[in-house]
Amino acid sequence: MTMTNEKMRFWSPEVRELEPYVPGEQPKIQNLLKLNTNENPYPPSPKVAQALEKQLSNQADLLRLYPDPDASVLKEAIAKQQHVTADHVFVGNGSDEVLAHIFKAFFQQEEPVLYSDITYSFYPVYSQFFKTKTKIVPLNEQFEIDIKDYQQPNGGIIITNPNAPTSIALPLTEIEKLLCDHPDRVVVIDEAYVDFGAESAVALVDRYENLVVCQTTSKSRSLAGLRVGYAIAQPHLIAALETVKNSFNSYPIDRLAIAAAVASFEDQPYFEEHCQKVIVSREQLITDLKALGFNVLSSKANFIFTSHQIEKANVLAEKLREQGVIVRYFNKPRIDNFLRITIGTDIENKRLVQSLEKILH
Amino acid sequence: MTMTNEKMRFWSPEVRELEPYVPGEQPKIQNLLKLNTNENPYPPSPKVAQALEKQLSNQADLLRLYPDPDASVLKEAIAKQQHVTADHVFVGNGSDEVLAHIFKAFFQQEEPVLYSDITYSFYPVYSQFFKTKTKIVPLNEQFEIDIKDYQQPNGGIIITNPNAPTSIALPLTEIEKLLCDHPDRVVVIDEAYVDFGAESAVALVDRYENLVVCQTTSKSRSLAGLRVGYAIAQPHLIAALETVKNSFNSYPIDRLAIAAAVASFEDQPYFEEHCQKVIVSREQLITDLKALGFNVLSSKANFIFTSHQIEKANVLAEKLREQGVIVRYFNKPRIDNFLRITIGTDIENKRLVQSLEKILH
C-alpha cells in the first residue's frame, strides 16, 4: 500500500498487512490479442444466449426478486452433467469464491495446509486472509508435483490439476494415492483447466470422503463474464461449504448467471467440440513454437508455459505487447524466464507466432 | 447442524460452531403473495431490459471474457447519481457481500463493534464469521436508536437506517452527532431502505472521514435478482474495502449485472416515480391496518413492522400463509409479537388487508 499510516488508522490492523491478488489485466483497447487470462477463444454455446433472451422476454420483471439462494436448478444441471446427485454440488460466484470458502471451511487447522511453490497465486492470498497455517511444497526440478513430497503432517492439501501456470497434469492414479495417504485430511483438486485433456477426480468422489473437486465455467464453458464456479464432494463436505457461504453471502449467483450456466451444462456436444478444438490448436501452437526455439512444458490446459532458448521472457512479453499481443509474465523465483500463453483460435495463434518470428529474427 | 461429529471431523473447528444467516424463503409456488423479503413490487426500469438485450444482441460472445474486476463503468454511474466521484465508490455482489467486507476491513479491532439488539440479523453472523468483538446496544422502549447509548468505547459502529425490521429512521442530525462522537472509529450507515423516505448520509461523506454508507440495488431499484450492492466513503476507506475484496474474489460482479445496474442508475425519473409509489401505498396500507386494530411503527422503509392488539403475530402469519400470503415473522425476544410486511402494489396490499379481515372477523 502506498497509503500513509495516518489514513490507514481506520483499517482493521490485519487488513493493513494484506497483499491482495492481482488479476491479469483486462485492457480496454480494441484489436488487442488477449492471451493473458486463459479465457476461451470461442463464445459460449448459442443455447446460453437463447436462455438469456428467454429470461428477458418472459421474465425481466422477475429481476426484482431475489434468486434462489441455493441455485437448485443449477446444482441439478451440474449434477446431471457430472454424473453425481445434486447434494454433491456446491456453487459460488466463480471458482475464486468457492476456493475462498474452501480455505475457511477446511484449512483452518492446527497443522498447515500444503500447496506448491508454483501454483495458483490466489492460494497464498487466501492463506493470509483467513490466517491459515501454510507450508509450501516445492515442485520438483521438472516443475512436476511429486506426491511423495506431501507425506508430512498437514491440515489439508490443495493441488491445481492441471497445474497453473505450468500446465502439467497429475495422473488420476497419483491423486488416488494422495487421497489414500491422507484419509483424515481434505484433499482439494482445483480443476479449473481439467477439460482440456486431463483426468478429472470427480470420478473418485463417491469413493473418497476426503475429496473436494473444484471446477469453473470460466474456461471450458466460455462463461468467465458470468462468474459461476462449483465444487463436487460428498454431502458432509458440501455442508461445510454451505455453512460458510451462508455466513458470508446468501445469494452469490444471480438469476441470469444461473439461467446461462444451466443452458451451458445442458449443451454437452458444444462443450466437447470446443474443448477439442482448443486441444488441437494447442498442439499445433506447441509445434510452431518449438520450431522457433521455445521449450514448452507438456500441457493439458488451455494455455502453455514456455521459455525461449535465447531471448528472455520479460523482453519477449514487452515486445509482444508492442505488437498488440498480451501474454502473462510472472516476475517470480524459478519461473521468471517463462511466459504463460493462452491458446487462441488458429488465426490468433498464427498472429502470435508471426509476431514472435518478427521479434526473434 | 444435525450432522454427526464423525462427519464434521474434516471441517475447520471454528466452522463447526457457525450459525449461518437464514434468508427469507423464496417459495416456488405460483400465485403466492410474497411480502416476506422486502422486494420491490414493481419491475426494474425498462432501460434495464433494453441494456441487457443490447448486451446479448451485440456482445453475447463477450461472456467468454472476464468482467472488469473494478466495474469502473458501474462505479462511474453510481458516482454520478450520488454526486460523488468514482473513487468514493465500492461495489460488491449485493450489499451482503459489501457488509461482509466492511466487517473484515474495519471492525476487527481491540474494542467491540456496536450494533442494536434488533437490526439486520446478518450482523451477528458476520461477527461470528470474522471473530469480531461485538457489543449489543439495545434499542429503547420505543424500538428507536438512541445515539447516547453508543457513547462507550468501541471499535466501530454499524446502524441500519431506516432500521430493519423496525422500519424506523434516524434523522441525519443524529447520525452527524454520532460521527462527531466517534471521530476515530468507522461509523457504517446501512441504507438498504433509505430511498423510501429517509435521509441519506451520503450527503455527509465529504465532511466525515470516518463514515461509510452502504446501499443496494435490491430494494429501491428492483434488482434483487442481480446482486449489486455498493458503499460510498472517502477514498482511504474505499481502499480498505478494495484490499479485502481483492484478497477474496477479484470479479464479484458479472458483465450482465454491471450493464443492468448502470442502466438503472441512468434512469433517475423511473427510480423516483416508483419509490414515491411505494411510499403512497405504504401510507394507505398503514391506515387500513390501523382500522383493523394493528399498531404500526412509523415507517420510512418499503415494509412495515406491526403487531395486532389482540391476535398473536405467529398465528396471523400462519393463517395468512393458509391464504397464500407470506409475511416475515421473527421468533426472537422483544419482537416475537410483530410481523414484518413488505409493501406491495395497491392491489396486493388490498389482498393482504382482505385476508386479514377474514382472519380477524
Query: Are the CB atoms for B357 and B323 separated by under 8 Å?
Result: no
Q: Which of A222, A246, A267 is the last residue in one of the domains?
A: A267
Question: What mean pLDDT is reported for chain B?
Answer: 95
pLDDT above 90 covers a percentage of chain B that reads 93
| Domain CATH number, residue B91 | 3.40.640.10
Which residue in A has a C-alpha nearest to residue B133's C-alpha? A12
Using CB atoms and an 8 Å cut-off, which of residues 246-265 of chain A contact chain B? Answer: 246-257, 260
Q: Which of residues 67-86 of B touch A (CB under 8 A)?
A: 67-69
Place of cell 400462519: B318
pLDDT tens across A155-208, in order? Answer: 999 999 999 999 999 999 999 999 999 999 999 999 999 999 999 999 999 999
The pLDDT of residue A2 is: 52
What's residue A1's pLDDT? 45
What pLDDT, on a 0 to 100 scale, did the predictor assign at position A102?
98
Q: What is the predicted pLDDT for the residue at A27? A: 76
Q: What is the pLDDT of residues A34-48, one digit of tens each?
A: 999 999 999 999 999
Give me chain A's average pLDDT, please. Answer: 95
The span from the CA of A240 to the CA of A30, in Å, is: 44
Residue A116 main-chain phi, psi, to 5 deg: -70, 160
Q: Which of these three, A247, A267, A287, is where a domain ends?
A: A267
User: What CATH number is associated with residue B341?
Assistant: 3.90.1150.10
Rounded average pLDDT over B205-232: 98
Q: Is residue A1 part of a domain?
A: no
List the grid coordinates of B210: 470516518
B128 contacts in A (CB within 8 Å)? Answer: 247
- Determine the Cα–Cα distance for residues B76 and B85; give it in Å rounded to an integer: 7
**Helix, strand, coil distribution of chain A in percent, nearest 5:** 45, 15, 40
Decide if B56 is inside a domain.
Answer: no
What backbone phi and psi angles, to 5 degrees, belong to B201? -80, 0
Kindly report the nearest CA distance between residue B224 and chain A, in angstroms.
Answer: 5
pLDDT band at residue B164 using 50, 70 and 90 as cut-offs: very high
Other beta carbons less than 10 A from residue B307's beta carbon: 18
| B14, pLDDT greater than 80 | yes
Could you tell me if B275 lies within 8 Å of chain A, comparing CB atoms?
no
> Is there a contact between A96 and B63 if contact means CB atoms under 8 Å apart?
no
Tell me if B53 is assigned to some domain.
no
> Looking at residue A291, what is its pLDDT?
97
Shared domain check, A206 and A133: yes
Q: Identify the band that residue B205 occupies on the pLDDT scale cut at 50, 70 and 90.
A: very high
Does residue B308 sit within a domain?
yes
The residues with which A90 forms a beta bridge, in sequence order, are A231
Q: Looking at the structure, do residues B192 and B275 belong to the same domain, yes or no? A: no
Our CA-based measurement puts residue A313 at a distance from the nearest CA of chain B, in whole angstroms, of 25
CA torsion, ordered A103, A109, A111, A117, to nearest 10 deg: 10
pLDDT confidence of residue A270 = 98
Give the count of domains, chain B.
Answer: 2
B36 inside domain: yes
d(CA A342, CA A220): 12
pLDDT band (50, 70, 90) for residue B173: very high
Residues A316, A290 share a domain: yes
Q: Which of A267, A283, A315 is the last residue of a domain?
A: A267
Q: Which residues in A lie closer than 8 A to residue B100 (C-beta atoms)?
A: 248-249
Q: What is the mean pLDDT of residues A6-15?
A: 89
pLDDT in tens, A251-296: 999 999 999 999 999 999 999 999 999 999 999 999 999 999 999 9
Q: Do B52 and A68 touch (CB under 8 A)?
A: no
Task: Tell me how crowded residue B284 is: count the other CB atoms within 10 A of its CB.
Answer: 14
Position B181 pLDDT exceeds 70: yes
Is residue B116 one of the residues assigned to a domain? yes
* Residue B195 and residue B338 share a domain: no
Quick one: B96 and B231 in the same domain? Answer: yes
pLDDT at B6 over 90: no
A257–B255 CB contact, under 8 Å: no
- Give B54-84 pLDDT, tens digit per residue: 999 877 789 999 999 999 999 999 999 999 9
- Asked whether residue A249 falls in the same domain as residue A283, the answer is no
Residue B99 CB partners (closer than 8 Å, separation 6+): B120, B122, B123, B126, B190, B214, B229
Return the residue in B61, B209, B249 with the most chain A beta carbons within 10 A, the one to mutate for interface testing: B249
Say yes or no: A185 and A330 in one domain.
no
B1: confidence class by pLDDT, cuts 50, 70, 90:
very low
| Integer Cα distance of B196 and B215 in angstroms | 12
Max Cα–Cα distance, chain A, nearest Å: 60
Question: pLDDT tier at A7 (50, 70, 90 boundaries)?
Answer: confident
Q: Is the pLDDT of residue B29 over 80?
A: no
Identity of the residue in A7, A14, A249 whose CB atom sits nearest the CB atom of B93: A249
Helix axes B255-266, B46-59, angle to 10 degrees: 140
Residue A227: all three cell numbers together: 462468474
pLDDT in tens, B105-132: 999 999 999 999 999 999 999 999 999 9
Q: Are A86 and A223 found together in one domain? A: yes
Q: Could you report the predicted ipTM of this complex, rounded to two decimals?
A: 0.95
CA pseudo-torsion sign B92, B93, B97, B99:
positive
Model confidence at B3, pLDDT cuts 50, 70, 90, reads: low
Q: In this complex, do B8 and A255 lie within 8 Å of one another by their Cβ atoms?
A: no
What cell numbers appear for B361 in the block?
A: 372477523
Share of chain A above pLDDT 70, in %: 99
* Residue A112 near chain B (CB below 8 Å): no
- Same domain as A278, residue A263: no
C-alpha cell belonging to residue A249? 453471502
Domain of B303 in residue numbering reads as: 7-44+269-360
Contact between chains at A63 and B48 (C-beta distance less than 8 A): yes
**Which of A66, A108, A249 comes nearest B12 by C-beta?**
A108
Same domain, A20 and A73: no
Residues A207 and A60 both lie in one domain: yes
* Contact residues, B window 40-69, toward A, CB-based 8 Å cutoff: 40-44, 48-49, 52-53, 56, 60-69
Cell 498480451, residue? Answer: A326
Query: What are the beta bridge partners of residue B187?
Result: B157, B211
State residue B2's pLDDT score.
52
B42: nearest CA partner in chain A: A64
Looking at the partner chain, which of A39, A63, A246 has a beta carbon nearest the beta carbon of B20?
Answer: A246
Per-residue cell: B176: 452527524
Domain presence at residue A2? no
Q: What is the pLDDT of residues A16-37, one digit of tens each?
A: 999 999 887 777 677 899 999 9
Residue B299 lies in a domain: yes
Q: Which residue of chain A has the CA closest to B111?
A: A12
Q: Does position A71 have pLDDT exceeding 80, yes or no?
A: yes
- Which percentage of chain A shows pLDDT scores above 90? 93
Same domain, A304 and A338: yes
What is the three-class DSSP state of A343? coil
Work out the average pLDDT over B261-279.
Answer: 98
